[in-house]
A and B are shown apart, each in its own frame.
Chain A
Amino acid sequence: MSSAAIIHATIQVSGRRMFPLILAVLAMEDGDVLARLQRREPQALAELYDRYGGMVYRLALRIVRDTGIAEDLVQETFLRAWNRAAAFDSQRGAAGPWLLAIARNRSLDYLRAQSRRVANTLELNETEHPARFVDFPAEALNFDLARQVKHALEQLGPDERAAIELAYFEGLSQSEIAERMAQPLGTVKTWMRRAMARMRESMGSVNR
Protein backbone atom coordinates (compact mmCIF):
# COMPACT_ATOMS: atom_id res chain seq x y z
CA MET A 1 0.00 0.00 0.00
CA SER A 2 1.07 3.53 -0.49
CA SER A 3 1.87 5.53 2.54
CA ALA A 4 3.33 8.87 3.30
CA ALA A 5 5.78 10.24 5.73
CA ILE A 6 6.25 13.72 6.97
CA ILE A 7 9.84 14.78 6.77
CA HIS A 8 11.02 16.93 9.62
CA ALA A 9 14.07 19.07 9.88
CA THR A 10 15.43 21.31 12.51
CA ILE A 11 16.72 24.79 11.87
CA GLN A 12 19.00 26.94 13.91
CA VAL A 13 18.09 30.57 14.36
CA SER A 14 20.62 32.68 16.19
CA GLY A 15 21.98 29.57 17.79
CA ARG A 16 18.61 28.51 19.15
CA ARG A 17 17.15 25.19 18.20
CA MET A 18 13.71 25.65 16.77
CA PHE A 19 10.87 23.25 16.46
CA PRO A 20 11.07 20.94 13.51
CA LEU A 21 9.71 22.30 10.32
CA ILE A 22 7.58 20.11 8.24
CA LEU A 23 9.23 20.31 4.90
CA ALA A 24 7.68 17.83 2.61
CA VAL A 25 5.75 14.69 2.22
CA LEU A 26 7.13 11.77 0.37
CA ALA A 27 5.03 8.93 -0.78
CA MET A 28 6.67 5.72 0.19
CA GLU A 29 5.87 2.09 0.00
CA ASP A 30 5.37 0.55 3.41
CA GLY A 31 4.21 -2.78 2.08
CA ASP A 32 7.65 -3.90 1.10
CA VAL A 33 9.27 -2.93 4.35
CA LEU A 34 6.50 -4.59 6.34
CA ALA A 35 6.84 -7.78 4.35
CA ARG A 36 10.55 -7.79 5.07
CA LEU A 37 9.86 -7.05 8.72
CA GLN A 38 7.69 -10.14 8.78
CA ARG A 39 10.65 -12.09 7.47
CA ARG A 40 12.58 -10.56 10.37
CA GLU A 41 15.04 -8.72 8.21
CA PRO A 42 16.87 -6.27 10.50
CA GLN A 43 17.27 -3.74 7.71
CA ALA A 44 13.50 -3.45 7.48
CA LEU A 45 13.39 -2.38 11.10
CA ALA A 46 15.99 0.26 10.33
CA GLU A 47 13.93 1.60 7.43
CA LEU A 48 10.79 1.64 9.51
CA TYR A 49 12.57 3.55 12.24
CA ASP A 50 13.96 6.05 9.78
CA ARG A 51 10.48 6.71 8.47
CA TYR A 52 8.53 6.86 11.68
CA GLY A 53 10.96 6.96 14.61
CA GLY A 54 10.81 10.73 14.95
CA MET A 55 7.05 10.80 14.84
CA VAL A 56 6.81 8.06 17.44
CA TYR A 57 9.32 9.81 19.68
CA ARG A 58 7.50 13.15 19.56
CA LEU A 59 4.20 11.52 20.44
CA ALA A 60 5.66 9.57 23.35
CA LEU A 61 7.46 12.66 24.60
CA ARG A 62 4.31 14.78 24.36
CA ILE A 63 2.48 12.23 26.49
CA VAL A 64 5.05 11.34 29.16
CA ARG A 65 7.05 14.61 29.09
CA ASP A 66 10.29 12.88 29.99
CA THR A 67 12.93 12.32 27.33
CA GLY A 68 14.38 9.21 28.92
CA ILE A 69 11.03 7.54 29.34
CA ALA A 70 10.04 8.59 25.84
CA GLU A 71 13.13 6.90 24.43
CA ASP A 72 12.29 3.72 26.29
CA LEU A 73 8.77 3.86 24.95
CA VAL A 74 10.01 4.28 21.40
CA GLN A 75 12.09 1.19 21.89
CA GLU A 76 9.14 -0.70 23.30
CA THR A 77 7.02 0.43 20.37
CA PHE A 78 9.41 -0.90 17.76
CA LEU A 79 10.02 -4.04 19.77
CA ARG A 80 6.30 -4.68 19.76
CA ALA A 81 6.10 -4.03 16.04
CA TRP A 82 9.05 -6.33 15.45
CA ASN A 83 7.37 -9.10 17.38
CA ARG A 84 3.89 -8.62 16.03
CA ALA A 85 4.60 -7.83 12.43
CA ALA A 86 3.46 -11.30 11.40
CA ALA A 87 -0.12 -10.38 12.30
CA PHE A 88 -0.01 -7.29 10.13
CA ASP A 89 -1.39 -7.22 6.61
CA SER A 90 1.70 -5.96 4.88
CA GLN A 91 -0.11 -5.20 1.64
CA ARG A 92 -3.12 -3.39 3.04
CA GLY A 93 -1.96 -2.20 6.45
CA ALA A 94 -0.62 1.24 7.26
CA ALA A 95 2.59 1.10 9.26
CA GLY A 96 2.71 4.70 10.49
CA PRO A 97 -0.72 4.74 12.11
CA TRP A 98 -0.06 1.34 13.62
CA LEU A 99 3.22 2.46 15.18
CA LEU A 100 1.66 5.64 16.51
CA ALA A 101 -1.18 3.66 18.06
CA ILE A 102 1.28 1.35 19.77
CA ALA A 103 3.35 4.29 20.99
CA ARG A 104 0.32 6.11 22.32
CA ASN A 105 -0.93 3.03 24.13
CA ARG A 106 2.42 2.28 25.70
CA SER A 107 2.75 5.90 26.77
CA LEU A 108 -0.74 6.01 28.25
CA ASP A 109 -0.06 2.74 30.05
CA TYR A 110 2.93 4.41 31.58
CA LEU A 111 0.91 7.44 32.67
CA ARG A 112 -1.74 5.22 34.16
CA ALA A 113 0.80 3.23 36.09
CA GLN A 114 2.33 6.43 37.41
CA SER A 115 -0.98 7.76 38.60
CA ARG A 116 -2.25 4.31 39.61
CA ARG A 117 -5.29 5.10 37.56
CA VAL A 118 -7.33 2.10 36.61
CA ALA A 119 -8.21 1.88 32.99
CA ASN A 120 -11.97 2.14 32.86
CA THR A 121 -12.17 2.75 29.19
CA LEU A 122 -11.91 0.66 26.09
CA GLU A 123 -9.00 -1.69 26.29
CA LEU A 124 -6.22 0.29 24.68
CA ASN A 125 -4.61 -2.76 23.17
CA GLU A 126 -7.68 -3.07 21.03
CA THR A 127 -6.89 0.24 19.42
CA GLU A 128 -3.56 -1.06 18.17
CA HIS A 129 -4.84 -4.31 16.75
CA PRO A 130 -3.31 -4.76 13.30
CA ALA A 131 -6.75 -5.31 11.78
CA ARG A 132 -7.60 -1.70 12.52
CA PHE A 133 -4.98 -0.49 10.10
CA VAL A 134 -6.09 -2.41 7.08
CA ASP A 135 -7.23 -0.21 4.21
CA PHE A 136 -6.49 2.86 6.26
CA PRO A 137 -7.97 5.92 4.54
CA ALA A 138 -5.33 7.02 2.10
CA GLU A 139 -6.26 10.65 2.58
CA ALA A 140 -5.30 10.39 6.24
CA LEU A 141 -1.73 9.74 5.20
CA ASN A 142 -1.74 12.91 3.22
CA PHE A 143 0.04 15.83 4.76
CA ASP A 144 -2.66 18.29 3.77
CA LEU A 145 -5.21 16.48 5.85
CA ALA A 146 -2.86 16.22 8.80
CA ARG A 147 -2.26 19.94 8.54
CA GLN A 148 -5.98 20.57 8.45
CA VAL A 149 -6.42 18.57 11.60
CA LYS A 150 -3.70 20.53 13.30
CA HIS A 151 -5.27 23.77 12.18
CA ALA A 152 -8.69 22.63 13.35
CA LEU A 153 -7.32 21.79 16.76
CA GLU A 154 -5.74 25.20 17.01
CA GLN A 155 -9.01 26.86 16.15
CA LEU A 156 -10.98 25.15 18.90
CA GLY A 157 -11.98 27.06 21.99
CA PRO A 158 -9.70 26.49 24.98
CA ASP A 159 -12.13 24.21 26.78
CA GLU A 160 -12.93 22.16 23.71
CA ARG A 161 -9.29 21.81 22.86
CA ALA A 162 -8.38 20.87 26.42
CA ALA A 163 -11.05 18.20 26.45
CA ILE A 164 -9.83 16.67 23.18
CA GLU A 165 -6.23 16.79 24.33
CA LEU A 166 -7.04 15.14 27.64
CA ALA A 167 -8.70 12.32 25.73
CA TYR A 168 -5.87 11.93 23.25
CA PHE A 169 -2.75 12.68 25.27
CA GLU A 170 -3.89 11.36 28.62
CA GLY A 171 -6.41 8.74 27.56
CA LEU A 172 -9.13 10.11 29.80
CA SER A 173 -12.76 9.18 29.36
CA GLN A 174 -15.39 11.90 29.26
CA SER A 175 -16.20 11.27 32.94
CA GLU A 176 -12.56 11.61 33.86
CA ILE A 177 -12.25 14.76 31.81
CA ALA A 178 -15.27 16.21 33.57
CA GLU A 179 -13.70 15.44 36.90
CA ARG A 180 -10.33 16.86 35.89
CA MET A 181 -11.84 20.05 34.54
CA ALA A 182 -14.35 20.31 37.37
CA GLN A 183 -17.23 20.54 34.95
CA PRO A 184 -20.50 18.63 34.63
CA LEU A 185 -20.30 15.59 32.39
CA GLY A 186 -22.95 17.04 30.11
CA THR A 187 -20.83 20.13 29.54
CA VAL A 188 -17.82 18.05 28.62
CA LYS A 189 -19.90 15.96 26.25
CA THR A 190 -21.09 19.14 24.59
CA TRP A 191 -17.53 20.41 24.22
CA MET A 192 -16.36 17.13 22.77
CA ARG A 193 -19.24 16.92 20.37
CA ARG A 194 -18.68 20.48 19.23
CA ALA A 195 -14.93 19.96 18.91
CA MET A 196 -15.38 16.85 16.84
CA ALA A 197 -17.91 18.55 14.62
CA ARG A 198 -15.51 21.39 13.95
CA MET A 199 -12.68 19.03 13.25
CA ARG A 200 -14.86 17.06 10.88
CA GLU A 201 -15.87 20.21 9.11
CA SER A 202 -12.27 21.21 8.66
CA MET A 203 -11.48 17.85 7.27
CA GLY A 204 -14.04 18.03 4.53
CA SER A 205 -15.44 14.60 3.94
CA VAL A 206 -14.07 12.97 7.04
CA ASN A 207 -16.72 11.46 9.25
CA ARG A 208 -19.55 12.66 7.12
Chain B
Amino acid sequence: MTCEELRPGYLLYAMGTVGEPESSELRVHLDRGCAACTEGLRQAHALVYSMGAVLAGPEAPRELRGRVLGISGVEARRTQAPGPLLPRARSGRLWQGWALAAAAIVLAVIPASLWHRQLSQARASQAAVAELLAEERRASSSLRAESRGAVPIFALEVERGGTAGEALKQLAIPAGVRAVVLALPADLVRQASAVELRNATGETIWTASSLPDGDADSTGLKVDGRLLTPGRYAVVLLAGGRTLARLPFAVIPR
Protein backbone atom coordinates (compact mmCIF):
# COMPACT_ATOMS: atom_id res chain seq x y z
CA MET B 1 0.00 0.00 0.00
CA THR B 2 1.06 3.57 -0.50
CA CYS B 3 1.66 6.15 2.21
CA GLU B 4 -1.46 7.95 1.05
CA GLU B 5 -3.56 4.83 1.52
CA LEU B 6 -2.08 4.13 4.92
CA ARG B 7 -2.34 7.63 6.31
CA PRO B 8 -5.98 7.38 7.47
CA GLY B 9 -4.98 4.40 9.58
CA TYR B 10 -2.26 6.09 11.60
CA LEU B 11 -4.50 7.15 14.41
CA LEU B 12 -6.30 3.84 14.72
CA TYR B 13 -2.97 2.04 14.63
CA ALA B 14 -1.70 4.24 17.42
CA MET B 15 -4.84 3.44 19.37
CA GLY B 16 -4.32 -0.27 18.81
CA THR B 17 -7.68 -0.61 17.08
CA VAL B 18 -6.63 -1.44 13.56
CA GLY B 19 -7.78 -4.83 12.44
CA GLU B 20 -6.12 -7.10 9.95
CA PRO B 21 -4.93 -6.94 7.26
CA GLU B 22 -4.44 -3.18 7.68
CA SER B 23 -2.30 -3.63 10.77
CA SER B 24 0.11 -6.01 9.08
CA GLU B 25 0.26 -3.90 5.96
CA LEU B 26 1.21 -0.84 7.93
CA ARG B 27 3.79 -2.77 9.91
CA VAL B 28 5.39 -4.15 6.77
CA HIS B 29 5.41 -0.68 5.31
CA LEU B 30 7.08 0.74 8.41
CA ASP B 31 9.61 -2.06 8.46
CA ARG B 32 10.72 -0.95 5.02
CA GLY B 33 11.82 2.26 6.68
CA CYS B 34 9.24 4.71 5.37
CA ALA B 35 10.22 7.96 7.04
CA ALA B 36 6.96 9.74 6.21
CA CYS B 37 4.77 7.05 7.76
CA THR B 38 7.07 6.66 10.74
CA GLU B 39 6.74 10.36 11.42
CA GLY B 40 3.01 10.27 10.80
CA LEU B 41 2.61 7.46 13.26
CA ARG B 42 4.76 9.24 15.80
CA GLN B 43 2.45 12.22 15.56
CA ALA B 44 -0.56 9.95 15.83
CA HIS B 45 0.81 8.62 19.11
CA ALA B 46 1.04 12.19 20.27
CA LEU B 47 -2.58 12.77 19.30
CA VAL B 48 -3.67 9.68 21.19
CA TYR B 49 -1.77 10.85 24.24
CA SER B 50 -3.38 14.25 24.07
CA MET B 51 -6.85 12.74 24.01
CA GLY B 52 -6.19 11.14 27.37
CA ALA B 53 -4.17 13.93 28.89
CA VAL B 54 -6.87 16.58 28.67
CA LEU B 55 -9.73 14.61 30.13
CA ALA B 56 -11.73 16.40 32.76
CA GLY B 57 -12.97 14.50 35.75
CA PRO B 58 -12.68 14.10 39.48
CA GLU B 59 -9.42 14.08 41.35
CA ALA B 60 -8.04 10.72 42.40
CA PRO B 61 -8.91 9.82 46.00
CA ARG B 62 -6.20 10.85 48.43
CA GLU B 63 -5.73 7.34 49.76
CA LEU B 64 -4.93 6.05 46.29
CA ARG B 65 -1.50 7.60 46.50
CA GLY B 66 -0.70 5.44 49.50
CA ARG B 67 -1.87 2.35 47.70
CA VAL B 68 0.28 3.08 44.69
CA LEU B 69 3.33 3.88 46.76
CA GLY B 70 2.78 0.64 48.61
CA ILE B 71 3.97 -1.07 45.46
CA SER B 72 7.50 -0.09 46.32
CA GLY B 73 7.08 -0.41 50.04
CA VAL B 74 7.27 3.32 50.68
CA GLU B 75 4.13 3.53 52.70
CA ALA B 76 4.72 0.22 54.38
CA ARG B 77 8.08 1.34 55.62
CA ARG B 78 6.58 4.53 56.93
CA THR B 79 3.77 2.86 58.82
CA GLN B 80 5.09 -0.54 59.85
CA ALA B 81 6.02 -1.23 63.41
CA PRO B 82 9.79 -1.14 63.71
CA GLY B 83 10.22 -4.52 65.32
CA PRO B 84 10.78 -7.62 63.23
CA LEU B 85 8.18 -10.30 63.25
CA LEU B 86 10.76 -12.77 64.40
CA PRO B 87 13.03 -12.27 67.39
CA ARG B 88 16.00 -10.11 66.58
CA ALA B 89 18.53 -12.83 67.31
CA ARG B 90 16.92 -15.12 64.83
CA SER B 91 16.40 -12.54 62.19
CA GLY B 92 20.03 -11.58 62.48
CA ARG B 93 20.99 -15.03 61.40
CA LEU B 94 18.55 -14.86 58.59
CA TRP B 95 20.72 -12.52 56.63
CA GLN B 96 23.79 -14.65 56.79
CA GLY B 97 24.00 -15.37 53.41
CA TRP B 98 24.71 -18.15 51.25
CA ALA B 99 21.59 -20.06 51.78
CA LEU B 100 18.48 -19.39 49.80
CA ALA B 101 15.39 -19.67 51.89
CA ALA B 102 13.38 -17.56 54.22
CA ALA B 103 10.39 -15.83 52.96
CA ALA B 104 9.30 -12.28 52.72
CA ILE B 105 5.65 -12.61 52.26
CA VAL B 106 3.34 -9.95 51.12
CA LEU B 107 -0.35 -10.32 51.16
CA ALA B 108 -3.19 -8.57 49.50
CA VAL B 109 -6.87 -9.00 50.07
CA ILE B 110 -9.08 -8.23 47.18
CA PRO B 111 -12.68 -7.46 48.04
CA ALA B 112 -15.02 -8.26 45.24
CA SER B 113 -16.36 -4.88 44.37
CA LEU B 114 -13.07 -3.06 44.63
CA TRP B 115 -10.54 -5.58 43.53
CA HIS B 116 -7.17 -5.55 45.13
CA ARG B 117 -7.95 -2.35 46.97
CA GLN B 118 -5.51 -3.20 49.67
CA LEU B 119 -2.76 -4.21 47.37
CA SER B 120 -0.69 -1.36 48.68
CA GLN B 121 -0.34 -3.23 51.89
CA ALA B 122 0.82 -6.14 49.91
CA ARG B 123 3.70 -4.46 48.12
CA ALA B 124 3.35 -7.05 45.43
CA SER B 125 6.03 -5.59 43.29
CA GLN B 126 6.36 -8.18 40.60
CA ALA B 127 4.87 -8.13 37.16
CA ALA B 128 3.90 -11.75 37.36
CA VAL B 129 1.73 -11.06 40.33
CA ALA B 130 0.06 -8.14 38.63
CA GLU B 131 -0.72 -10.15 35.58
CA LEU B 132 -2.09 -13.03 37.56
CA LEU B 133 -4.21 -10.65 39.55
CA ALA B 134 -5.57 -9.20 36.36
CA GLU B 135 -6.26 -12.67 35.06
CA GLU B 136 -7.98 -13.59 38.27
CA ARG B 137 -10.09 -10.48 38.10
CA ARG B 138 -11.16 -11.28 34.58
CA ALA B 139 -11.96 -14.86 35.50
CA SER B 140 -13.94 -13.73 38.49
CA SER B 141 -15.95 -11.02 36.84
CA SER B 142 -19.06 -13.11 36.52
CA LEU B 143 -18.74 -14.26 40.09
CA ARG B 144 -18.48 -10.68 41.26
CA ALA B 145 -21.46 -9.71 39.23
CA GLU B 146 -23.48 -12.47 40.80
CA SER B 147 -22.50 -12.25 44.40
CA ARG B 148 -20.90 -8.87 45.06
CA GLY B 149 -19.28 -10.82 47.85
CA ALA B 150 -15.65 -11.39 48.60
CA VAL B 151 -13.41 -12.78 45.91
CA PRO B 152 -10.23 -12.73 47.89
CA ILE B 153 -6.89 -13.40 46.47
CA PHE B 154 -3.50 -13.11 48.04
CA ALA B 155 -0.33 -12.03 46.39
CA LEU B 156 2.34 -13.77 48.28
CA GLU B 157 5.84 -12.69 47.44
CA VAL B 158 8.40 -15.23 48.43
CA GLU B 159 11.99 -14.15 48.33
CA ARG B 160 15.24 -15.72 49.19
CA GLY B 161 16.89 -14.22 52.15
CA GLY B 162 18.19 -16.22 55.06
CA THR B 163 18.97 -19.57 56.47
CA ALA B 164 16.94 -22.55 55.42
CA GLY B 165 14.19 -23.35 57.85
CA GLU B 166 13.69 -19.85 59.14
CA ALA B 167 10.59 -17.99 58.19
CA LEU B 168 11.42 -14.35 57.69
CA LYS B 169 7.86 -13.25 58.22
CA GLN B 170 4.68 -14.58 59.63
CA LEU B 171 1.40 -13.50 58.19
CA ALA B 172 -2.24 -13.88 58.95
CA ILE B 173 -4.48 -14.66 56.03
CA PRO B 174 -8.03 -13.36 56.31
CA ALA B 175 -10.94 -15.72 55.97
CA GLY B 176 -12.34 -16.87 52.69
CA VAL B 177 -9.20 -16.88 50.63
CA ARG B 178 -9.66 -18.71 47.37
CA ALA B 179 -6.40 -18.16 45.64
CA VAL B 180 -2.88 -17.39 46.62
CA VAL B 181 -0.32 -16.23 44.11
CA LEU B 182 3.18 -17.30 45.01
CA ALA B 183 5.60 -14.87 43.47
CA LEU B 184 8.93 -16.61 43.27
CA PRO B 185 12.33 -15.41 42.08
CA ALA B 186 12.20 -16.04 38.35
CA ASP B 187 15.85 -16.99 38.08
CA LEU B 188 15.25 -19.87 40.45
CA VAL B 189 12.09 -20.97 38.71
CA ARG B 190 13.90 -20.97 35.38
CA GLN B 191 16.36 -23.48 36.78
CA ALA B 192 13.69 -25.61 38.42
CA SER B 193 11.84 -28.56 36.96
CA ALA B 194 9.14 -28.52 39.65
CA VAL B 195 7.91 -26.42 42.53
CA GLU B 196 6.39 -27.95 45.62
CA LEU B 197 4.55 -26.46 48.56
CA ARG B 198 5.28 -28.43 51.72
CA ASN B 199 3.73 -28.19 55.15
CA ALA B 200 5.50 -28.31 58.53
CA THR B 201 5.82 -32.07 58.46
CA GLY B 202 7.45 -31.98 55.06
CA GLU B 203 4.42 -33.36 53.30
CA THR B 204 3.95 -32.05 49.79
CA ILE B 205 0.53 -30.45 49.57
CA TRP B 206 0.80 -28.88 46.13
CA THR B 207 3.05 -29.34 43.13
CA ALA B 208 3.62 -27.45 39.92
CA SER B 209 5.65 -29.14 37.23
CA SER B 210 4.62 -27.07 34.27
CA LEU B 211 6.40 -23.86 35.06
CA PRO B 212 5.87 -20.63 33.17
CA ASP B 213 8.82 -18.96 31.58
CA GLY B 214 9.39 -15.29 31.12
CA ASP B 215 11.78 -12.43 31.56
CA ALA B 216 10.07 -10.83 34.54
CA ASP B 217 11.80 -10.62 37.90
CA SER B 218 9.44 -13.09 39.41
CA THR B 219 7.23 -15.94 38.40
CA GLY B 220 3.71 -16.18 39.77
CA LEU B 221 2.15 -19.51 40.58
CA LYS B 222 -1.42 -19.69 41.76
CA VAL B 223 -2.41 -22.19 44.44
CA ASP B 224 -5.66 -22.96 46.20
CA GLY B 225 -5.86 -20.58 49.16
CA ARG B 226 -7.55 -23.16 51.35
CA LEU B 227 -4.30 -25.08 51.50
CA LEU B 228 -2.69 -22.38 53.62
CA THR B 229 -4.15 -22.85 57.06
CA PRO B 230 -2.06 -21.50 59.94
CA GLY B 231 1.26 -23.28 60.14
CA ARG B 232 4.73 -23.36 58.69
CA TYR B 233 5.31 -23.96 55.03
CA ALA B 234 8.08 -24.00 52.52
CA VAL B 235 8.17 -23.52 48.81
CA VAL B 236 10.70 -26.03 47.49
CA LEU B 237 12.17 -25.68 44.04
CA LEU B 238 13.48 -28.90 42.56
CA ALA B 239 15.86 -29.43 39.69
CA GLY B 240 16.53 -32.92 38.44
CA GLY B 241 15.59 -34.54 41.73
CA ARG B 242 17.71 -32.28 43.91
CA THR B 243 16.54 -29.38 45.98
CA LEU B 244 17.49 -26.16 44.31
CA ALA B 245 16.05 -23.86 46.94
CA ARG B 246 13.78 -23.94 49.94
CA LEU B 247 11.84 -20.81 50.78
CA PRO B 248 10.02 -21.11 54.09
CA PHE B 249 7.26 -18.91 55.44
CA ALA B 250 4.66 -19.07 58.18
CA VAL B 251 0.96 -18.45 58.24
CA ILE B 252 -0.37 -17.46 61.65
CA PRO B 253 -3.97 -17.45 62.90
CA ARG B 254 -5.96 -14.35 62.15
Q: Note whether A and B form a binding pair.
A: yes
The smallest C-beta distance from A159 to any residue of chain B, in angstroms, reads: 16
Q: Find chain B residues with CB under 8 A from A101 CB.
A: 48-49
- A196: Cβ under 8 A from any B Cβ: yes
Q: Find chain B residues with CB under 8 A from A80 CB.
A: 127, 130
- B45: Cβ under 8 A from any A Cβ: yes
| A114 to B143 alpha-carbon distance, docked (Å) | 11
Nearest opposing residue in chain A for B218, CB measure: A83
The smallest C-beta distance from B35 to any residue of chain A, in angstroms, reads: 13
Do B114 and A71 touch (CB < 8 A)? yes
The smallest C-beta distance from B73 to any residue of chain A, in angstroms, reads: 6
> Known interface pairs A106-B134, A149-B54, A168-B15. Does A139 touch B46 (Cβ–Cβ under 8 Å)?
yes
Q: Find chain B residues with CB under 8 A from A110 CB.
A: 137-138
Do B46 and A49 touch (CB < 8 A)? no
- B1: Cβ under 8 A from any A Cβ: no
A residues 59-93 touching B (CB-CB < 8 Å): 59, 61-62, 67-69, 71-72, 74-76, 78-80, 82-84
B107-150 near A? 1/0 per residue, CB < 8 Å = 00000011111011000111100100110011001000000000
Nearest opposing residue in chain B for A6, CB measure: B53
Do A140 and B71 touch (CB < 8 A)? no
Do B60 and A71 touch (CB < 8 A)? yes
Do A53 and B49 touch (CB < 8 A)? no
The secondary structure that dominates the A interface is helix
The smallest C-beta distance from B252 to any residue of chain A, in angstroms, reads: 26
The smallest C-beta distance from A66 to any residue of chain B, in angstroms, reads: 9
Q: Give the number of residues in A that approach B within 8 Å (Cβ atoms).
A: 85
Do A45 and B50 touch (CB < 8 A)? no
- A130: Cβ under 8 A from any B Cβ: no
Do B51 and A206 touch (CB < 8 A)? no
- B13: Cβ under 8 A from any A Cβ: yes
Do B54 and A150 touch (CB < 8 A)? yes
| A137 to B12 alpha-carbon distance, docked (Å) | 18
Nearest opposing residue in chain B for A45, CB measure: B72
Do A49 and B17 touch (CB < 8 A)? no
| A50 to B11 alpha-carbon distance, docked (Å) | 29
- B99: Cβ under 8 A from any A Cβ: no
| A169 to B16 alpha-carbon distance, docked (Å) | 11
> Known interface pairs A20-B56, A124-B16. Does A140 touch B47 (Cβ–Cβ under 8 Å)?
yes
A residues 25-71 touching B (CB-CB < 8 Å): 40, 42-43, 45-46, 49-50, 53-55, 57-59, 61-62, 67-69, 71
Q: Find chain A residues with CB under 8 A from B43 CB.
A: 137, 140, 206-207
B residues 35-71 touching A (CB-CB < 8 Å): 40, 42-61, 64-65, 67-69, 71
Most B-side CB within 10 Å, residue of A42, A82, A196: A42
| A106 to B59 alpha-carbon distance, docked (Å) | 20
B residues adjacent to A (C-beta < 8 A): 7-8, 10-19, 23, 40, 42-61, 64-65, 67-69, 71-74, 77, 113-117, 119-120, 124-127, 130, 133-134, 137-138, 141, 216-217
Q: List 8 A-B contacts (CB under 8 A).
A: A20-B57, A45-B71, A58-B57, A84-B127, A96-B53, A136-B46, A173-B17, A207-B43
Report the 3 A-B pairs with minimum CB-CB distance, sorted nearest first: A140-B46, A68-B114, A113-B138
Known: A75-B68, A110-B138. 17 other contacts (CB 8 A): A6-B54, A53-B68, A71-B64, A76-B134, A79-B127, A84-B127, A100-B49, A123-B16, A133-B45, A136-B45, A140-B43, A140-B45, A149-B47, A149-B51, A171-B16, A173-B17, A173-B19
